[in-house]
Structure 1
Amino acid sequence: MIIIDWLIVAAVLVVILFGGFYAAKKNSDDKEGFFLAGRNMPWWLLGLSMVATTFAADTPNLVTGLVRQYGIAGNWLWWSFLITGLLTTFIYAKLWRRLGVVTDVEFYEVRYSGKIAKLLRGFRAIYLGVFFNVMIMASVTLAAIKIGTVLLGVDAIVVVVIAGLFAVVFSTVGGFLAVLLTDALLFFLAMAGAMIAAYFAVNHPQVGGLQALVSAPELSEKWHFLPDFSDPNQYVPLLLIPLVLQWWSVWYPGSEPGGGGYIAQRMLAAKNERHAVAASAFFNLCHYAVRPWPWILVAMASLLVFPDLESLRVAFPHVPEHLVQQDLAYSAMLSFLPAGILGLVVASIVAAYISTISTSLNWGASYVVNDFYLRFVNPEANSHRQVLIGRISSVLLMIAAGIIALFLESAMQAFQILLSIGAGTGLLFMMRWFWLRINAYSELAAMIASFVITMILQFGPFEALLDWQKLLLTVAFSTAIWVLVTLLTPACEPQCLASFQTKINSKKPEIQHGLMMTLLSLLFIYGVLFTTGYLLMGLYTMAALIMVVAVALPGFIMFFKRT
């Protein structure tokens, strides 16, 4: 980094801060203004914000680690969540918007009855808004640490303090409107940075261009979209478990079964149902079909430049030993960027970091204020007091995330932790809208069982079990426990259930249409994803065939249905 690089980064930070202060003037001084931007946001702004938020500084690191370890097929660990995302788009987005709550946790006192519903709302607010949220931010901050140590030679603690301070100032000043407005800019900046990084990685002297990268014999097994079906150690954890089990059973940030978290926050902020659906659809298209390939290309190129961990250690001896994992290769490849270009790419990563952290801070603070403080501590708090508590919560959440980030080692480690703790709850989150026998005890049982079983399998005498086997056991036992609790405990009060059904106004034909649209969109988005990959590999016939199927088949089905 030379002066031109620093000037570019500084310019981006100034623009981001300007957006925050501009939004602060536009915000109404109440919780709906601070946390939902007045519920009047258009689909394109919300969609861009969803994509920018999930861009995250740690996502390129995660993809790099997966590709280096398992090849392109390793991405099914997160590609499978497209099924979850599309169900949210075509079924649950409308239901969330009709509910009219401030946070998705407020759902609990609309859907369930009695004191247990109140208890569940408070518990879930802290469980998600604090515990889960801090883990998400810690994972993202870990990526900032790796970039800072590799490119800048800065100590991890310094990175945590500076990055966290900037994100907190931005988030607490501008609120949710600031997040949305700057996310639109940050998306394009982050996408441009990823593509530029891919271009220079592919054209590195040790890589020799795209054709040389694709034809490199040492990478031949890495280019397959599907794992080796002759080896159960490949296809079971990489494809079978994600597509058969993981997508519906695991609560994972940004891919929650039934919708939730900061995705639900954006749907709740939409002008109406149509804007909520369109925002979610746009997000899924960009997230799964548009963004992955620049990261994948950098990861593949890194295998030729840094073929193993030892080569990374030799190249970056100043990086702490515990941080030298497969995901460090993404940051390592950025070190070859020329002056000016390096500043632009680093600025794009800074933008991605701020986008994700500011969203998590605003989202987590909304839980603390709306579903804990206002509900249990000070129900009479005025709007000014609520916003103040939200800002204080943001600061404390960032401090906790920074501390935990210093103890993490890789993006994959954080990914596995979040997957494990959320395992077994996903089916409940989808079924609770329609199976009215589910109650607040069901949800408490699911969360507690998932957490306890995960801890037992992770830290008990089960070292011989593989990660996917632990996930399978957690899902099986957690699901069995919450279903049993559902059947043994009383149902919610009929009056509460009737009110809930009236609000969501869900009809059987609407659900059937949503399922069909999910299937067709699944074909289309996966088709675009694989078509892009085959084009990059120079396999034009296969690319054309996949694209025709992905576009023509859904089109034919829709035409047949209308006639």
Structure 2
Amino acid sequence: MVAQGLVYASMVGAYLIIIMGLAVYIATRWIDDPGDFMLAGREIGSWASGFALLAILMSGGFVPAIVLHGYLYGVGGAWFFWGWTIGQALVFLTYATFWRRSGAYTPAEYFEFGYGVSGRLAVLLASIVAMLMIAAFQFVGAGALVAGLMGVDLFTAVVGVGGITIGYTLLSGMWGITISDFIQAIWVMVSVFILIPVYLFMNHGMPSAAAPDISAQMMQWPFGSMAVASFAGGTVISIVWQNWLLANSPYYWVRASATRSEKALRRGYMIAIVFSAFIAVSGAFIGLWAQMLTNPDAADQAFGTLLADEVPVWLGGLAASGVIAATMSTADAVYQGIVNTVVRDYVQRFTSINDRERLLLVGRLVVVVAGFLTVVIALAYPGQLGAMIAFAFAFVAPIFVLNFDAWLIRYGTKEAAVITVLVIIPLVTYWEFYSPYIEAVNTLWVAGAVSFVMFYGISTLVRVTGPWWSDSVDNLGDQLSADIWRQGGD
């Protein structure tokens, strides 16, 4: 086990050194101004965009979770990640090209054209809170994995993973995270979802109902051993809703804004959708192999036990590095979303700082501050993963409603936007920590339903009574953004 730990540590360390070296190279060659740092000069192509989106989907906690669902439900476990695939397809069919066409750097910038400065500030608040929680969640998951693999304490693991992620985002911005995410997505897909199944197939054959621990029902497509009504209905729909909701976070908008064209963006989403569908099936079969070959102390340890006991050390090290890479690929995108939100929606909008070098410096300072806050949150509340992710999704719910309104209905008002965001904050806090109904109704469903009802209810009331306050609109971004707002995204 000591030798195995050393191999894992060496491979993870080598990977982290490669990523930091790449960041230094990009920072010295490609980053000249805030546009390069925040949007990579809007030059991201189809494949880079697609694999970067895929990297966001394959966050560190989700790689073991994909395998876990295969372990529990057989081939039906693929629905766990198929739910995310369907969610991305919905984003592709609805908002994605609309975001790119807007010309805006962030959701808050765009929504000022419809909801004024107060609406912009409300979206800014919701965005920052959501992204800090998402990054903290990733660091707790990655820290626990690194601590287990390398035999270090959680504090050291979280600070180490967080420091590296902050470092390469700080140096290279959007260019750096896009290229590193491209590498990370390929690394995870090849090491975990291609090489491990190939190795297990060559040495143990395909999983089948003939194995003692695999029931015939687990091998039945398309639902395996799932209770269809409760899992395929409730849980998969929740996952689809969760992903469609999460994709309204500013870092998805940043991804869309940084692409070379709408055509490149559409191709990128199609690439991400196809590969995520493959990963879902591969992960389900890895879970079946874990069911056939291992006997973990708990189901959620199935993937780790499989790596430790049934694959060569070198392959386990590659996979462990891949899981850490998956975590970093989500956290770095979150940091970039925070940078764009703070710089574009506060510094450029409400201060006199317009010099390119000063804005670039501010962007990098934002990475440091946001990184420090997320690491502190991760270390202060390591046992609150569920609450962290619930808060993140719930704070995105009002942004989802605003996107939906701007894309399709175009009925909302600034008063409704502001009040909805402000009400969601105490509501989520109450529901997650104090509500007796939390087990029956997930927080994200409550936040989504309340956001819809409040936003359109208040908008109707405002349209009857007239505006409740006046608000200015300053066209900071491209004139195209205002035109798109007036046209409703057409």
TM-score normalised over the length of structure 1: 0.74
Structure-2 separation of matches of 1:192 and 1:214: 28
Aligned match of 1:128: 127
Secondary structure of 2:91 counterpart: helix
Q: 1:392 is matched with which residue: 362, 365, 368?
A: 365
Taking a change above 3 Å as real, the CA distance of residues 142 and 222 of structure 1, as seen in their structure-2 partners, is farther
Assess if the C-alpha contact under 8 Å between 1:89 and 1:277 holds in 2. yes
Q: Residue 157 of structure 1: CA displacement?
A: 0.4
Q: Residue 451 of structure 1: CA displacement?
A: 3.6
Higher relative contact order (CA 8 A, sep 6+): 2
Structure-2 separation of matches of 1:344 and 1:411: 26
Assess if the C-alpha contact under 8 Å between 2:144 and 2:157 holds in 1. no
Aligned residues: 475
Q: 1:24 is matched with which residue: 22, 27, 30?
A: 27
Q: Residue 485 of structure 1: CA displacement?
A: 0.6
Structure-2 separation of matches of 1:78 and 1:450: 28
Q: Is the aligned partner of 1:238 residue 2:231?
A: no
Assess if the C-alpha contact under 8 Å between 2:8 and 2:317 holds in 1. yes
Structure-2 separation of matches of 1:351 and 1:236: 32
Q: Unaligned regions of 5+ residues in structure 1, if any?
A: 313-325, 511-563
Taking a change above 3 Å as real, the CA distance of residues 480 and 357 of structure 1, as seen in their structure-2 partners, is closer
Q: Is the aligned partner of 1:339 residue 2:335?
A: no
Q: Identify the range of structure 1 (184-193 vs 227-236) with the bigger mean alpha-carbon deviation.
A: 227-236
Q: Is the aligned partner of 1:352 residue 2:333?
A: no
Structure-2 separation of matches of 1:139 and 1:341: 26
Aligned match of 2:429: 455
Q: 2:206 is matched with which residue: 203, 207, 210?
A: 210
Q: Residue 6 of structure 1: CA displacement?
A: 4.3
Aligned match of 2:140: 142
Taking a change above 3 Å as real, the CA distance of residues 48 and 292 of structure 1, as seen in their structure-2 partners, is same
Taking a change above 3 Å as real, the CA distance of residues 66 and 449 of structure 1, as seen in their structure-2 partners, is farther
Structure-2 separation of matches of 1:23 and 1:173: 8
Q: Residue 352 of structure 1: CA displacement?
A: 2.1
Aligned match of 2:153: 155
Structure-1 separation of matches of 2:483 and 2:161: 45
Aligned match of 1:98: 101
Q: Is the aligned partner of 1:375 residue 2:349?
A: yes
Q: Identify the range of structure 1 (268-277 vs 400-409) with the bigger mean alpha-carbon deviation.
A: 400-409
Let me know the Cα RMSD of the aligned residues.
3.6
* Structure 2 residue identity aligned to 1:480: V
Q: 2:168 is matched with which residue: 167, 170, 176?
A: 170
Q: 1:430 is matched with which residue: 395, 399, 404?
A: 404
Equivalences for 1:23-422 in 2 at 5 Å?
Answer: 23-68=26-71, 73=76, 76=79, 79-112=82-115, 117-129=116-128, 131-194=129-192, 195-199=194-198, 208-212=204-208, 215-223=211-219, 225-226=222-223, 233-234=230-231, 236-239=233-236, 246=241, 251-252=245-246, 255-256=247-248, 260-287=249-276, 289-304=277-292, 311-312=297-298, 326-336=299-309, 337-376=311-350, 378-406=351-379, 407-409=381-383, 414-422=388-396
Equivalences for 1:487-526 in 2 at 5 Å?
Answer: 487-490=460-463, 502-503=483-484
Structure-1 separation of matches of 2:395 and 2:437: 17
Structure-2 separation of matches of 1:412 and 1:297: 27
Q: Residue 304 of structure 1: CA displacement?
A: 4.8
Structure-2 separation of matches of 1:423 and 1:338: 44
Aligned match of 1:551: none
Structure-1 separation of matches of 2:378 and 2:199: 29
Q: Residue 132 of structure 1: CA displacement?
A: 1.2
Q: Residue 60 of structure 1: CA displacement?
A: 1.1
Q: Deviations over 1:59-99 (max 9, x none)?
A: 11333454556665466466345444234324433322221
Assess if the C-alpha contact under 8 Å between 1:95 and 1:504 holds in 2. no
Q: Deviations over 1:375-429 (max 9, x none)?
A: 23x2334222222222222122222222333434486665555444545763442
Q: Deviations over 1:280-319 (max 9, x none)?
A: 22222222x12223332333344456656xx24xxxxxxx
